[in-house]
Amino acid sequence: GDSVTQMEGPVTLSEEAFLTINCTYTATGYPSLFWYVQYPGEGLQLLLKATKADDKGSNKGFEATYRKETTSFHLEKGSVQVSDSAVYFCALSDDDKIIFGKGTRLHILP
């Protein structure tokens, strides 16, 4: 079945560092891809999405490009802030439900 694999955390970076969180997927069809973020004590919220190959999703300085040839959707940010500390989930659509990766915890040090 469809699945999502993302890098294990925790990832610890200093403020203003460059961030990459790797995500690859397996799917039989042509899913949409998502990154969700979960701040402490809260539910998940959509960060960005891409619905077809070569699309780039972006929001709050984060970007991810839908790469069909490598089945990847890596999350990047050029300069992270302490407020970006959270758990990040890569996900794909599967008919009318979403399949989530296990999440990557990100710690940003001031």
Partner 1 sequence: DAGVIQSPRHEVTEMGQEVTLRCKPISGHNSLFWYRQTMMRGLELLIYFNNNVPIDDSGMPEDRFSAKMPNASFSTLKIQPSEPRDSAVYFCASSLAVRQGPYNEQFFGPGTRLTVL
Is there binding between residue 98 and partner 1 (CB under 8 A)? Answer: yes
Which positions from 76 through 95 interact with partner 1, judged by CB under 8 A? 89, 93, 95
**77-82 LR contacts (CB < 8 Å, sep 24+):** 77/18, 77/19, 78/18, 79/16, 79/17, 79/18, 80/13, 80/15, 80/16, 80/17, 80/18, 80/19, 80/106, 80/108, 81/15, 81/16, 81/108, 82/15, 82/108, 82/109, 82/110
Stretch 30-69 residues interacting with partner 1 (CB under 8 A): 31-32, 34, 41-46, 49, 51
| Shortest Å, Cβ 79 to partner 1 | 27
Query: Residue 97 interacts with partner 1 (CB under 8 A)?
Result: yes
Can you give the binding site for partner 1, defined by CB under 8 A? 31-32, 34, 41-46, 49, 51, 89, 93, 95-98, 100-103
